[in-house]
Amino acid sequence: MARYNPKEVEPRWRAAWDDKGVFRTRGPEEAGGKPKYYVLEMFPYPSGNIHMGHARNYVMGDVVARFKRARGFNVLHPMGWDAFGMPAENAAMERGVHPKAWTYSNIDNMRAQLKLLGLSIDWSREFATCDPAYYGRQQRWFLDLWERGLVYRKESVVNWDPVDHTVLANEQVIDGRGWRSGAVVEKRKLTQWFLRITDYADELIEGLKTLDRWPDKVRLMQENWIGKSRGLKFRFDFAEGSKPDGIDNLEVYTTRPDTLFGASFVAIAWDHPLAERIAAADPAVAAFCEELRHGAATEAEIETGEKKGLFTGLEVVHPFDPSIKLPVWIANFVLMQYGTGALFGCPGHDQRDHDFASKYGLPIIPVVCPDGVDPATFNVDAEPFVGDGKLFNSRFLDGLDVDSGIAAAIDRMEAQDQGEGATVYRLRDWGVSRQRYWGCPIPVIHCEACGPQPVPPEQLPVELPEDVEFKTPGNPLDRHPTWRHTTCPKCKGAAQRETDTLDTFVDSSWYFARFANPHAAEPIDKVAADYWLAVDQYIGGVEHAVLHLLYARFISRALTDAGDMTVREPFAGLFTQGMVVHETYRLPDDPKGWIEPTDVELKTVDGKRVARRISTGEPLVIGDIEKMSKSKKNVVAPEEILDAYGVDAGRLFVLSDSPPERDVQWTAGGIEGSWRFVNRVWSVFEDLDQMGVTEPADPDAAQALRRTTHKAIKAVTEGFDGFRFNSAIARLYEFVNAIKGSDPEATGSAARREALSALARLIAPIVPHLAEECWAALGETGMVVDAPWPAFDPMLAADDEIALPIQVNGKRRGELKVKPGLEPADVEKIALSDEQVKRHLDGLTVRKVIVVKDRIVNIVAG
């Protein structure tokens, strides 16, 4: 047999899979009663090239898909493209290439690269979100949501780049400047489209409890993001002579109404209506609000979070004691977007209020005293106390603990009809307007007479015009000569199209449902979606833990309520995989002098690793291990690896060296090790055709090999089931070593065939090409991809003899070989009669013998 040659073997098997169409999805009618399994990796943005992170993500999904297929599931494993977004417009501006041409050519390139990975994908279901066939249907359900009242327009504050004439996301604002133009970013009020995700806030939290196959971490992050809190909303009356015209009272929100008697001021946000009212009449207040509008001026201010405030001159009356007056301040730490944009400050029991009061000399009144401390001497001047305790200085609340105090204060406030218990969320409605070209047009027509009107269904999709230019900044849709001009569907008068496009997170909020039937006329084929959804295993980066996954959960619910879909919770199982990282190398005197790994030679000198630049011989500094990035030049391109070692060695390596949820460090040594394993596997299949049928020369050896085989099947199966690919691979290493270490004459051909047949099938999800070649070498006629998963015999997979350590006073002093399940009383007898043990018990009295069945014996003596 020839040496293993991936360059010849791998393309041959990929062609064989294609020819037989083995990865074509079967609908329920073809499934023959098999249970369905939907495995999906987060679809990629078509940036142009597959990188190692993509490769690891898609290989993991492929392992799951192939494993489930072998285990008898009817599998859906599709692929598509998250194809709208800014980089296409940037390419247009920088290189004059049209976003559409750029995107589709990137897709062609990346599809070809993905196919090289040997993924078991049904490519017939592929689509891109920038296909009019896709985004047109998105427009359709957008209007369904509008009809249900889940879509609305409102004015909101955005980051505006005055040079590029565009809205920037928060992460595109760096040190207060636009990331592209470098211009100082302004806060502008724009009328934007919003989706009412907050209507579903409670359900989105409740649903998290049912997601038992999601990482706890992600569920926790979503819960914190939604940020539900319970408290009290109530209204302060203004003090006499302090009441502004047209404003009756000032509503605040608090989670700690128990501390109301510790209040010493009231604070409002700079953009609170009351602040705007006062600013209109008072230039000093106007100047202060303007200052806060620009946010923290320096890094230091952001870091220290220094409190700033200005007394407005107004006073309000304490709701529980009209004789107490509280000053109203405008403060920089109050956010208009949360609660009511106003709060009462209790410096004794809140860090921020304490900072503020200390700075401006406001009173600090303690009202909660920790248990076991004397209230008479309890002092919060230096530091607030935020824990539980007994209320004091608080009239009718005195003596209550915090929880009862909160309840009592809410009751009293409701009784005097000045407030009510309230639930408040950190989550805000989802602003989906983007002033950009390369996105899904919002299907709305603005008519001066009739207001905003939905585009009639027969006019969908509203397609993007292709004749646009990107030389001038701003939204090309806005300045297109004809595109926006249309007629009002209601009054037939002249009207204008909406020129905002949708946030690309909308595109990715329903693609998993479209995959159920990507050719359906309606947005979602409910019968197909009902069969395939929920996604049984979703796999992607943890960076999408909040936004994408929360939006998709919201849209699924909204679409279900609007009648377009039937599954409220789209992802039953979620796995967040780690990144591929690599060491960095740079020139000693240049903090930015990064050198790519291909130009680096590593050696160990006197036990220390040193790096040298191959091209010049210069010594290099070994830097941190970081996510592969072009800027740090620590990128290893998948195609280089494929070329040198083949796909299978690469697939093996990205899974073998680290648990899937953690980062994996790419190393030259690691991929070498994987390559050696590929060859070692092949070497055990090599001598097969000379083997013939032989009786075992040593029946014990044959039995031992069978035990090893069945233990390996059990361990590897459990590893794949539990998403522990690295430990499944470790078991495969051991299994191959055991086969290689066994003597073919001793074991005979039957046990050996059993071992190799199992091995070929066990490695198939990870190294599918090699597995096919091994399977063929066994003389099998079909392909391993169609072979059922091997089963193990529980009797053979269990140990028939256990080594039972014996401890004397906690120290290991001997060992027994026993059959599993031996009764503790019998074990005790054997242990005490053991010669070794007797020696250690010499001169001691046995006080106690602890026998843990099948585990250990401990003799306590003294």
Partner RNA sequence: GCCGCCGUAGCUCAGUGGUAGAGCGCAUCCUUGGUAAGGCUGAGGUCGGCAGUUCAAUCCUGCCCGGCGGCACCA
By CB under 7 A, the residues from 258 to 297 that bind RNA are 269, 296
Q: What is the CB neighbour count within 10 angstroms for residue 241?
A: 7
Query: What is the closest distance, in whole angstroms, from the C-beta atom of residue 329 to RNA in the complex?
Result: 13
| 803 lies in the site for RNA, by CB under 7 A | yes
* 815 sits near RNA (criterion: CB under 7 A): yes
Question: Which amino acid does the sequence have at 470?
Answer: F
- Cα within 13 Å of Cα(737), Cβ side: 7
Q: Residue 292 or residue 784: which is nearer to RNA going by CB?
A: 292
Is residue 625 a contact point for RNA (CB under 7 A)?
yes
**Using CB under 7 A, which of the segments 43-51, 439-447, 517-525, 735-743 binds RNA?**
735-743
**Is residue 852 a contact residue for RNA (CB under 7 A)?**
yes
CB-wise, 450 or 622, nearer to RNA? 622
| DSSP-assigned letter for residue 667 | -
Tell whether residue 659 is a contact of RNA (CB under 7 A).
Answer: yes
Alpha helices, H only, 456-565: 476-479, 504-507, 511-514, 526-532, 547-561
Site string for RNA, 830-849 (x = CB under 7 A): ------------------x-
Contacting residue, 111, 153, 199, 225, with RNA by CB under 7 A: 225
Q: Does 32 bind RNA (CB under 7 A)?
A: no
What torsion do the CA atoms of 387, 388, 391, 397 make, to the nearest 10 degrees?
120
CA pair distance 179, 169, nearest whole angstrom: 10
Token digits for 84? 């709208």
Q: Is 253 in the site for RNA (CB under 7 A)?
A: yes
CA dihedral 777, 781, 787, 789 (to 10 degrees): -40
User: In the complex with RNA, which residue's Cβ is closer, 302 or 449?
Assistant: 302
Binding test (CB under 7 A) with RNA, winner from 181, 198, 566, 809:
809
CA atoms of 222 and 201, how far apart (whole Å): 11
At closest approach, how far in Å is the CB of 331 from RNA?
Answer: 8
Q: How far is CA 121 from the centre of its chain?
A: 22
Q: What is the token pair recorded at 530?
A: 């009902």
Among 692, 810, 821, 862, binds RNA (CB under 7 A): 810
Among 52-60, 137-145, 728-736, 760-768, the segment contacting RNA (CB under 7 A): 728-736
Nearer to RNA, 235 or 426 (CB): 426
Of 557, 651, 724, 761, the residue at the interface with RNA (CB under 7 A) is 724
Q: Closest distance between RNA and the C-beta of residue 854, in Å? A: 10
Closer to RNA by CB, 150 or 267: give it: 267
To RNA, the closest distance from the beta carbon of 266 in angstroms equals 11
Write each residue from 303 to 342 as x if it is in contact with RNA (CB under 7 A), else as -, in one continuous string: --xxx------------------------xxxxxxxxxxx
Nearer to RNA, 303 or 466 (CB): 303
Nearer to RNA, 400 or 409 (CB): 409
**Closest distance of CB 663 from RNA, Å:** 6
From candidates 485, 519, 662, 829, binder to RNA by CB under 7 A: 662
Report the alpha-carbon angle 91-96-99, nearest 5.
50
Within 8 A by CB and 6+ apart from 656, the residues are: 670, 674, 725, 726, 729, 730
**Residue 407 found at the interface with RNA (CB under 7 A):** no
Residue 156 interacting with RNA (CB under 7 A): no
Nearest residue (CB) to RNA, 470 versus 551: 551
Mask 203-222, x = binds RNA (CB under 7 A)? -------------xx--xx-
Question: Using the rule CB under 7 A, is 856 a contact of RNA?
Answer: yes
Instruction: Give the residue, chosen from 361, 617, 741, 862, that forms a contact with RNA under the rule CB under 7 A.
Output: 741
Q: For RNA, which is the closer residue by CB, 31 or 818?
A: 818
For residue 45, the minimal CB distance to RNA (Å) is: 18
Query: Residue 581 in contact with residue 626, Cβ under 8 Å?
Result: yes
- Residue 737 within binding range of RNA, rule CB under 7 A: yes
24: closest CA among 69, 63, 59?
69
**Under rule CB under 7 A, residue 159 binds RNA:** no
Give the nearer residue to RNA in terms of CB position, either 473 or 659.
Answer: 659
Of the two residues 181 and 667, which places its CB atom closer to RNA in the complex? 667
Quick one: 14 or 752, whose CB is closer to RNA? Answer: 752
Size of the site for RNA (CB under 7 A): 82
Smallest separation, CB 297 to RNA (Å): 11
Cα–Cα dist 120/138, whole Å: 28
The single residue among 352, 446, 479, 612 that binds RNA, judged by CB under 7 A, is: 352
Q: In sequence order, which residues have a C-beta less than 8 Å from that of residue 660 and are 6 or more positions away?
A: 60, 575, 577, 578, 723, 724, 725, 726
Residue type, 792: F
Residue 318 CA, distance from chain mean position: 46
Residues found in the chain:
862
Of all residues in the chain, what percent are helix, strand and coil, respectively (each to 5)? 40, 20, 35
Burial of 364 (0-12, 13-18, 19+ CB in 10 A): buried
Is the distance from CB of 270 to CB of 332 less than 8 angstroms?
yes
Q: Do the Cβ atoms of 160 and 168 come closer than 8 Å?
A: yes
Min separation Cβ 48 and RNA, Å? 24
Say which amino acid occupies 140: R
Rank residues 787 and 856 by Cβ distance to RNA and give the closer one: 856
Measured from the CB atom, the residue of 229 and 566 that comes closer to RNA is 229
* Binding status of residue 360 toward RNA by CB under 7 A: no
Both tokens of residue 359? 């700075």
Residue 91: C-alpha distances to residues 79, 266, 654, 763, 772 (Å): 24, 51, 31, 42, 42
Stretch that binds RNA, among 180-188, 513-521, 591-599, 729-737 (CB under 7 A): 729-737
Footprint on residues 412-471 left by RNA (CB under 7 A)? 424, 426
Q: Are the CB atoms for 653 and 646 separated by under 8 Å?
A: no
DSSP labels, 807-821: EETTEEEEEEEE-TT
**Residue 744 in the binding site for RNA (CB under 7 A):** no
Bin 790: left if φ > 0, else alpha if -120 < ψ < 50, else beta. Answer: beta
Cβ proximity to RNA: between 116 and 625 the closer is 625
Nearer to RNA by Cβ, of 135 and 675: the residue is 675
For position 358 contacting RNA by CB under 7 A, the verdict is no
Binding to RNA (CB under 7 A): which residues in 563-622? 604
> Applying CB under 7 A, does 231 fall inside the site for RNA?
yes
**427 φ, ψ (degrees, to nearest 5):** -55, 135
Q: Rg for the chain (alpha carbons), in Å? A: 34
In contact, 139 and 461? CB cutoff 8 Å = yes
Contact mark string toward RNA, 506..545, x via CB under 7 A: ------------------------------------xx--
